[in-house]
Structure 1
């Protein structure tokens, strides 16, 4: 029996694709079992998950969890990952090795703390990157940027004679660094560590650099993406010598595999509501499960823009004051009959519904993949992390959606009209359909072959 342990990062958007990968591995292989080791506060919310050959195990974190919809804060989670969880995982792996063995540990690279743990146990390790290859490239080049003097030790870009000129840096195009194709039109501030505030930037940069240094020793990295994401461009990540990059994203989009447990209870009345709407008429809105709450004035702008669009809309907005404080007084009554607001939606079922015409999103990678899988045009409003790179690919590289310039009522209304109407809307739909055909066609065969290569690597170890 091949026994594999998965260690995902502590977020819904990381646990879900690793569960899907686990299910894909055991689906056609009777001799494989997967244990997905999650932090205790996630296990309390998802512990009811059951699947043939796949089980959840709880890693104590020492983090206070008050329960409810919101998990503990990011700072507490990151501290637990480096200072409390390693010894707990090492104990778990040691016990499993005594009970029958562990064939391999698959580590989400954002949970890179688990790599030295598995190394101490003498176990084979494979990395997992939950996003696209381009976002991995954005952090994998950090050592090179440091060595060439393009970036300081705190992550600040030094693009003019080694001088940090903030007004120059902020909107500087990154084409001359040859990290991405010029077609992507990425700016310096879109890099995942360049967050607001010098202290948080330095901490985030150190976090990414630690990931890159730990990942250097890995022989294989599994990517939740598809081959050809750069549309045939030559800007590809050049991995360390001997490191294997395996794209498996298209396999994980299988409808059977998408039915995994969520940390939140989805409102199933969404589907009944969508059944009553005209085809391709509904705007679906969701800003994901992990992103920090959007400021009240921005929620107000979205609310008024959706109302002004005159179109039916379904908005997944957490039922928490931090998310809903910006809704105008009496808004639910005002949009009743045309708009529906729920705390959490069954997203995959929503996106595949014929009534949905576009998706206003935070540009989280799982949401981008799901939107492409179901042929839905996107309006991107990135919030943090890799969202900005994902948005740039959607809007500029693939032309499968547009970037929302702000949450202003007029911008929201204008972007909805652009995507849902006229020649631009038709052109966007054609691009989305082409990508959908690619990731549900030949790319699936490549992904399945890569899963087989992964298993062969384990069997030959």
Structure 2
């Protein structure tokens, strides 16, 4: 009996980048793999493991998925703050502290789990690639965002070679004009369209490339990080992408041919990661108390907002959230956003961390005033899936993180976009371009812009009606049974390859006592 159980469950270890937006889709991928007979273990740094260990997936088995903790060397500050470690701190831990612990995990797996036949590595957690190589375990990539952003990142060597970006990643103007800002923007537009990396209707400006984050020193550091990840990713034969085939409205084959020279085989698997999608997933046991497929969160959600939504009219509420990773949009913009929400006269639910850096700029007694008037509710963190599926929500003002974008599509909620950094600008370009399911916040973050843009999205006719029709149509493409089956076949093909390429390891499984 033991031999048969292990034979049908090869071990796969999944290593996400340690941020909520990366851990969530990696857990979803682990469940999809487990549904195909894989003993999946998601290995997260200890500081994340502590935060989510109270959820259903902390059990020894969660729909066939285990959660393992890797010592990171990052000490808690003891303040009880929800603040996550900074980017530089995380990168140092990944490069200098976690590899030795992962190596022990690969060479000495728990007796309750089979030997690791493959490591699935978040492309941004490429520190795990050389560790897997030292242990003789093949590694494949996982890209938790849309394929378009992967294509842009994979094209970095070509962009440098053609002189379109510098060795530090900044766009290079093709003109000697003194008007630097306009010049750089024009160069960026020409770069994206000239190389045909993205469809012509996708508009991405120079300053919106995903590695252009922060000041010049931060940008150089981030770009070096991207280059290192690309170098290590050359060894991947496969990259599983958390997106859907034909995301840009073109044939799936056309999505692949523009990747970098030594590109791996790309498999879109996004629809297979949606909760309760395929027959394989429906056969899995529930995840502890988490039987609706939700993933544990690093932050405690305030579920009182669902009761508040219950009291609102259908389609009347503006939901506002800028995610968990990037940080505050700044005091001035927080103030303008608060005033703009109030000026709409519409009910709103705003997920805003109770942290001085996030709430700085709120007008005095704002939360109490709008709550007393029944006009709005502020929470530290919202159960976002429950919020977006609620019939009262008619608009989502978002930073355009990929997980948030997919959740909005899945529940048919039109978007008002205010991207902040990274791949959010690419996601926004698709939302407002080829997909037509949202608008970009007009003008900027002033109270008038906020109020006017919300009115356009929530208009019962005209523009608002068109957005709702578009998002419903895209929803059918993404969550339809056909899309899920196609993505599930991709997952199955990958699992078959894991089994096929490791016959010696499978023989060890078969003779395991």
Query: Please, which of 185, 188, 191 is the counterpart of residue 170 of structure 1?
Result: 185
Question: 5+ unaligned residues in a row in structure 1: which ranges?
Answer: none
Q: Give the equivalent residue in structure 2 for 1:433.
A: 472
Contact 2:45 2:72 in 1 (8 A): yes
1:333 to 2:362 alignment: no
In the TM superposition, residue 170 of structure 1 has moved relative to its aligned partner by 3.3
- Report 1:434-449 matches (<5 A): 434-441=473-480, 442-449=482-489
- Name whichever of 47-56 and 375-384 sits farther off: 47-56
Residue equivalent to 2:64: 53
Aligned to 2:98: 85
State how far apart, in whole Å, the 2-side matches of 1:301 and 1:45 are. 33
Whole-Å separation in 1 of the counterparts to 2:178 and 2:490: 43
Give the 3-state SS of the residue equivalent to 1:232 in structure 2: coil
TM alignment of 1:354-393, pairs within 5 A: 354-393=391-430
- Do residues 403 (structure 1) and 446 (structure 2) align? no
How far the C-alpha of 1:163 sits from its partner, in A, is 9.7
Alpha carbons of structure 1 residues 247 and 158: separation in structure 2 relative to 1, 3 Å: same
Inter-CA distance 317–108: structure 2 relative to 1 (3 Å threshold): same
Tell me if structure 2 keeps the 8 A contact 1:150–1:162: no
Does 2:14 match 1:3?
no
Give the whole-Å Cα distance in 2 for the aligned partners of 1:360 and 1:370. Answer: 13
In structure 2, the partner of 1:210 is 228
| Structure 2 equivalent of residue 113 of structure 1 | 127
Moved more, 57-66 or 362-371: 57-66
Does the residue aligned with 2:323 lie in a helix, a strand or coil? coil
Partner of 2:219: 201
Query: What is the Cα deviation at residue 27 of structure 1?
Result: 3.1
Which residue number corresponds to residue 17 of structure 1? Answer: 25
Looking at CA atoms only, which structure, 1 or 2, has the larger radius of gyration?
Answer: 2
Q: Deviations over 1:183-227 (max 9, x none)?
A: 001111110112342211111111111111111111111101101
CA distance in 2, matches of 1:186, 1:440: 27
CA RMSD across the alignment: 1.9
Equivalent position of 1:394 in the other structure: 431
| Structure 2 Cα separation of the partners of residues 309 and 221 of structure 1 | 44
CA drift of 1:162 comes to 9.4
Distance in 1, Cα, partners of 2:155 & 2:177: 20
Hey, what's the Cα distance between the residues in 1 that align with 2:132 and 2:418?
38
1:136 to 150, 153, 172: 150
Map Cα deviations across residues 32-63 of structure 1 (whole Å, 9 max, x no partner). 21111101110110123231321111111112
SS in 1 for 2:201: helix
Measure, in 2, the Cα distance between the counterparts of 1:248 and 1:331. Answer: 43
**Cα pair distance change 1:335/1:143, threshold 3 Å:** same
How far apart are the structure 1 equivalents of 2:254 and 2:265? Answer: 17
Distance 2:210 2:91 in 1: 16
Which range is displaced more, 47-56 or 311-320?
47-56
| Distance across 2 between alignment mates of 1:243 and 1:146 | 20
Secondary structure of the corresponding residue to residue 394 of structure 2: strand
**Are 1:362 and 1:381, in contact at CA under 8 Å, matched by a contact in 2?**
yes
1:328 deviates by: 0.3
Paired position in structure 1 for 2:353: 318
Contact 2:234–2:262, Cα closer than 8 Å, also in 1: no
Contact 1:7 1:38 in 2 (8 A): yes
Q: Take 2:66 and 2:180, find their aligned partners in 1: how far apart are those partners? A: 49
Stretch moving more, 221-230 or 59-68: 59-68
In the alignment, the residues of structure 2 paired with residue 85 and residue 164 of structure 1 have an alpha-carbon distance, to the nearest angstrom, of: 47
Q: 2:267 aligns with which of 227, 246, 249?
A: 246
Could you list the per-position Cα deviations for residues 223-249 of structure 1 after superposition, in whole angstroms to 9, with x for gaps in the alignment?
011011111279634345672211111
The runs of at least 4 consecutive aligned structure 1 residues that moved more than 3 Å come to 97-100, 161-166, 239-242, 255-258
Tell me the alpha carbon deviations over residues 255-274 of structure 1, each in whole angstroms, 9 at most, x when there is no partner. Answer: 56641111111111111111
Contact 1:20 1:257 in 2 (8 A): no
Within 5 Å, give how 1:202-351 maps onto structure 2. 202-232=220-250, 236-238=255-257, 239=259, 240=261, 243-254=264-275, 258-336=293-371, 337-351=374-388
1:412-431 paired onto structure 2 within 5 Å: 412-421=450-459, 422-431=461-470
How many Å separate the matches in 2 of 1:194 and 1:241? 24
Q: Which has the higher contact order (CA 8 A, sep 6+)?
A: 2
- Please list the CA deviations of residues 351-409 of structure 1 after superposition, one character each: whole Å capped at 9, or x if unmatched: 01111101000100000000000000000111111111111110112110011141110
TM-score, scaled to structure 2: 0.86
More displaced 10-residue stretch of structure 1: 267-276 or 227-236: 227-236
2:140 to 126, 142, 150: 126
Distance of aligned partners of 1:162 and 1:146 in 2 relative to their CA distance in 1, 3 Å threshold: farther
Specify whether residues 203 and 358 from structure 1 end up closer, same or farther in structure 2 by C-alpha distance, changes over 3 A only.
same
